[in-house]
């Protein structure tokens, strides 16, 4: 038969919903704390407590030092007593011995009561946090405990408490104490007073979970919820798509005679729910999203800067229904589809298209195409302004006119977009990959041009080449760059491409000997090369001398007008090329000064030498 301790131990474990190991560990920690307080033990001393779950007997073990003469029995033990615990004990060693006081049971019961409660409470809070952290985003059931102006307090499983703030409740929804409700576990926070569980009935995921619970096809993956837009308590729109052939996604969600959807509507306090079928075509999808309004046509414009815009044309009698009360229907449809929706009546859309044909350059090219119909459209609009009756045929004429013009503009936009993509692809293929790793100054341009390109945020040669090949007009907008400079940049690109491209492997030919004469074609390929190089050198020297003379005349005469930036760049490049030429250079090493000495012979062939020194680190 179990004693009182075992019965109390099992009762705590069952009522708190905690494992026996956790309760036992909490009681042992409380016994250690009680022992430290009763004997005033140091916190540095290692102390353990062992409890027998069946009898409830507590045994305290503590570390003690083996000494010959005991001065403090709390931390010291004689050698003879230590031998009983550890036969190999020696003076100065540490042993763990039984240190349970004689009256420890009564003292521990009084001292450790609060510690045991605190440890059990902490273990209970940790168990609640671990349990509910795995249920974030799921529906939980709770009982209303209290209702305040700030929110509703719910009692959950494991004696946890959930809070539903006012902004997470449905409008016009009232609760009473002891009401059982369902809510979405939105988030869980850790606080000094335990886990704080936030619940919600206004989140759109609450509607998603309700649909999964009520519609087996959604739960099993036969129907997928693509998007949800919701204004809690008023109206919601849900787009669903069938993932299996032969399954009607809308019919599966609504149920026979609307049984399934009506269950969810009652749970959400009579909130209206529109279930529509998702479609890959944005125009059809937007038209269905505006249900129950009837849509005549949808015109998409995804080339504008900013959000994608869809112009929806509806009959005049459907305009208010498409917009909804306070714009609710249009707002929910925009959230559901991700498009900015502009709803217009048929006469308004016709008048706007007619205005664009006269003023908008994108539409004026179709003016001649619709010239014969424009007069009829203007006559119909004048009848509308005079409040005269418009026949169904005239409405049909306006609708076909708007559709035809908008369709032509859309086709032209698609053609321009396709051409743009082809040009971009061709430009990307023309740029070698190695060019993206080269800095701008690798092109060998002047400092002014390099600085202008760098300030225009062209970080490497590859980006600059891509822009030049794709749209050179953007380069001309950079400060200090004109047509001549652009031609220089293109010439630098061509030279760079020849340098970057890998040479093709040469075929192994039989080595030529004196007995094997060269073919006529090979001789013709070799001889002009030598002559041409000599002519180029002579011509280059003449150009350089002329450029140097012109540059000196400009600097000496202050009244002469400055040259254009292009001519100045050419002169600067020639001067830099002239300065870089070094001829007849001898190098010697001076061991006394630990430097390299460069000796250059003067141009006139004189015997004098010019010496300069460059310090080099060895």
* Distance of alpha carbon 368 from alpha carbon 356, whole angstroms: 13
User: What pLDDT was estimated at residue 606?
Assistant: 43
pLDDT score at 520: 41
| Residue 529 in this model has a pLDDT that exceeds 60 | no
With a cut of 60, say whether residue 158 has pLDDT above it: yes
Could you give the C-alpha distances from 60 to 34, 346, 459, 533, 616, in angstroms and in order? 10, 91, 73, 102, 77
Q: What are phi and psi of 89, to 5 degrees?
A: -70, 145
Judged against a pLDDT cut of 90, whether residue 209 lies above it is answered with yes
Average pLDDT over residues 199-212: 95
- CB count within 10 Å of CB 436 equals 14
pLDDT digits (tens, 9 = 90+) for 355-367: 999 888 888 888 8
E strands, 160-294, in order:
161-165, 180-191, 194-200, 223-231, 235-242, 272-277
Q: Summarize pLDDT for 15-66 with one digit per residue, the tens.
A: 777 777 877 887 888 888 888 877 788 777 888 888 877 777 778 888 888 8
pLDDT score, position 552: 42
- pLDDT at 518 > cutoff 70: no
Report whether pLDDT(501) > 70: no
> What is the phi/psi pair of residue 36, to 5°?
-60, -40
pTM above 0.85, yes or no: no
pLDDT confidence of 304, banded at 50, 70, 90? low
343: pLDDT confidence band, cut at 50, 70 and 90? very high
H or E stretch including 412?
A: helix 392-430
Q: In this predicted structure, what is the pLDDT of residue 413?
A: 86
Q: What pLDDT sits at residue 146?
A: 94
Q: Which CATH number fits domain 4-120: 3.30.1480.10, 3.40.50.410, 3.40.50.10320, 3.40.140.10?
A: 3.30.1480.10
Per-residue pLDDT tens for 58-115?
A: 788 888 888 888 888 888 888 888 888 888 888 888 888 888 877 666 666 666 677 7
Query: What sign does the dihedral 605-607-613-618 (CA atoms) show?
Result: positive
Instruction: State pLDDT tens for residues 426-453.
Output: 888 888 888 888 888 888 888 888 888 8
> pLDDT at position 361, please?
87
When pLDDT is cut at 50, 70 and 90, the band that residue 615 belongs to is very low
> Is the separation of the CB atoms in 100 and 50 below 8 Å?
no
Q: Are 221 and 243 contacting, i.e. CB atoms less than 8 angstroms apart?
A: yes
Contacts of 25 (CB under 8 A, 6+ apart): 119
* pLDDT for position 369: 85
Question: In the prediction, which pLDDT does 333 show?
Answer: 95
> Is residue 551 pLDDT above 50, yes or no?
no
Q: Which residue has the higher pLDDT, 427 or 547?
A: 427
Average pLDDT of the segment spanning 473-483? 84
The 10s digit of each residue's pLDDT in 226-285 is 999 999 999 999 999 999 988 999 999 999 999 999 999 999 999 999 999 999 999 999
The residue with greater pLDDT, 255 or 573, is 255
Residue 616 has pLDDT above 60, yes or no: no
* Complete DSSP assignment for 340-389: EEEEEEHHHHHHHHHHHHHH-HHHHTTTTTTHHHHHHHHHHHHHHHTT--
Close Cβ partners of 153 (under 8 Å, ≥ 6 residues apart): 144, 145, 146, 147, 161, 162, 163, 164
For 135-202, the fitting CATH number among 2.40.37.20, 2.40.50.140, 2.30.30.90, 3.30.460.20 is: 2.40.50.140
Q: Could you give the count of Cα atoms lying within 13 Å of 245 in the half-sphere of its Cβ?
A: 0
Q: Rounding to the nearest 10 degrees, give the CA dihedral for residues 116, 122, 123, 124.
A: 110
Q: What phi and psi, each to the nearest 5 degrees, are found at residue 599?
A: -120, 125
For 245, the token pair is 């052939």
Per-residue pLDDT, averaged over 498-521, amounts to 49
Residue 396 has pLDDT above 90, yes or no: yes
What is the CB neighbour count within 10 angstroms for residue 526?
A: 9
Residue found by looking up tokens 């002891």 in the block: 178
User: Hey, what are 206's tokens?
Assistant: 């609450």
Given a cut of 90, is residue 180 above it in pLDDT? yes
Q: How confident is the model at residue 589 (pLDDT cuts 50, 70, 90)?
A: low
Instruction: Choose between 175 and 566: higher pLDDT.
Output: 175
Does pLDDT of 504 surpass 80? no
What's the token pair of residue 67? 């000494």
Per-residue pLDDT band for 586 (boundaries 50, 70, 90) equals: low
The three-class DSSP label of residue 315 is coil
Mean pLDDT of 574-594: 51
Least confident of 134-148, 173-187, 482-496, 518-532: 518-532
> What average pLDDT score do residues 411-415 get?
88
Asked whether the predicted pLDDT for residue 293 surpasses 90, the reply is yes
How high is the pLDDT of residue 573?
Answer: 52
Distance CA 390, CA 396 (A): 10
Q: Distance between CA atoms of 141 and 157, rounded to whole angstroms?
A: 8
pLDDT of 153: 95
**C-alpha closest to that of 27 among 123, 99, 98, 128:** 123
- Asked if 488 contacts 445 with a C-beta cutoff of 8 angstroms, the reply is yes
**Would the pLDDT of 397 be above 90?**
yes
If pLDDT is split at 50, 70 and 90, which confidence band does 336 have?
A: very high
| Cβ neighbours, 10 Å, residue 168 | 20
Q: Is a pLDDT exceeding 70 seen at residue 567?
A: no
If one compares 339 and 530, the residue with the highest pLDDT of the two is 339
Residue 177 has pLDDT above 80, yes or no: yes
Structure confidence at residue 63 (pLDDT): 87
């Amino acid at each position: 038969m179990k004693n009182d301790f075992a019965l109390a131990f099992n009762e705590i474990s069952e009522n708190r919903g905690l494992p026996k190991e956790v309760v036992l560990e909490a009681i042992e920690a409380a016994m250690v704390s009680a022992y430290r307080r009763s004997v005033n033990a140091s916190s540095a001393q290692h102390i353990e407590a062992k409890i027998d779950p069946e009898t409830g007997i507590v045994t305290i073990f503590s570390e003690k030092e083996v000494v010959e003469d005991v001065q403090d029995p709390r931390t010291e033990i004689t050698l003879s007593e230590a031998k009983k615990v550890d036969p190999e004990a020696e003076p100065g060693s540490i042993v763990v011995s039984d240190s349970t006081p004689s009256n420890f049971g009564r003292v521990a019961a009084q001292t450790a009561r609060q510690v045991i409660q605190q440890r059990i409470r902490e273990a209970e809070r940790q168990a609640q946090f671990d349990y509910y952290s795995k249920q974030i985003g799921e529906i939980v059931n709770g009982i209303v405990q209290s209702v305040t102006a700030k929110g509703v307090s719910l009692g959950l499983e494991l004696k946890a408490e959930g809070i539903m703030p006012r902004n997470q409740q449905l409008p016009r929804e009232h609760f009473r104490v002891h009401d059982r409700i369902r809510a979405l576990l939105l988030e869980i926070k850790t606080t000094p007073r335990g886990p704080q569980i936030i619940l919600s009935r206004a989140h759109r995921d609450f509607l998603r979970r309700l649909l999964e619970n009520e519609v087996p096809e959604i739960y099993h993956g036969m129907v997928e919820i693509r998007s949800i837009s919701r204004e809690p308590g008023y109206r919601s729109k849900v787009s669903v798509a069938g993932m299996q052939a032969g399954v009607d996604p809308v019919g599966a969600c609504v149920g026979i005679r609307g049984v399934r959807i009506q269950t969810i509507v009652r749970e959400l306090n009579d909130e209206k729910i529109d279930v529509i079928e998702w479609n890959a075509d944005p125009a059809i999808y937007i038209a269905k999203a505006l249900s129950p309004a009837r849509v005549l046509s949808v015109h998409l414009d995804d080339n504008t800067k900013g959000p994608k815009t869809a112009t929806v044309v509806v009959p005049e009698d459907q305009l208010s229904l498409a917009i909804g009360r306070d714009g609710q229907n249009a707002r929910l449809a925009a959230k559901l589809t991700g498009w900015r929706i502009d709803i217009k009546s048929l006469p308004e859309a016709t008048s706007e298209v007619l205005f664009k044909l006269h003023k908008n350059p994108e539409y004026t090219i179709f003016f001649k195409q619709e010239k014969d119909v424009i007069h009829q459209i203007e006559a119909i609009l004048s009848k509308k302004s005079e409040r005269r009756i418009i026949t169904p045929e005239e409405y049909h004429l306006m609708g076909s006119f708007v559709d035809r013009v908008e369709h032509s503009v859309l086709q032209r936009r698609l053609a321009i977009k396709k051409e743009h993509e082809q040009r971009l692809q061709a430009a990307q293929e023309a740029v070698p990959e190695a060019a993206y790793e080269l800095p701008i100054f690798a092109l060998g341009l002047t400092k002014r041009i390099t600085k202008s390109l760098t300030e225009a945020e062209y970080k490497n040669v590859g980006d600059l080449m891509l822009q030049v090949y794709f749209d050179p007009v953007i380069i001309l907008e950079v400060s200090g760059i004109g047509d001549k400079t652009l031609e220089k940049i293109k010439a630098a690109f061509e030279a760079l491409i020849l340098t970057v491209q890998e040479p093709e492997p040469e075929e192994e030919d039989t080595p030529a000997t004196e007995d094997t004469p060269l073919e006529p074609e090979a001789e013709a390929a070799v001889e002009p090369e030598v002559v041409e190089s000599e002519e180029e050198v002579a011509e280059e020297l003449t150009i350089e001398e002329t450029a140097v003379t012109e540059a000196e005349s400009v600097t000496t005469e202050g009244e002469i007008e400055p040259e254009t930036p292009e001519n100045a760049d050419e002169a600067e490049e020639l001067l830099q090329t002239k300065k870089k030429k070094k001829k007849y250079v001898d190098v010697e090493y001076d061991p006394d000064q630990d430097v390299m000495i460069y000796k250059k012979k003067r141009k006139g062939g004189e015997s004098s030498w010019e010496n300069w020194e460059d310090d080099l680190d060895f």
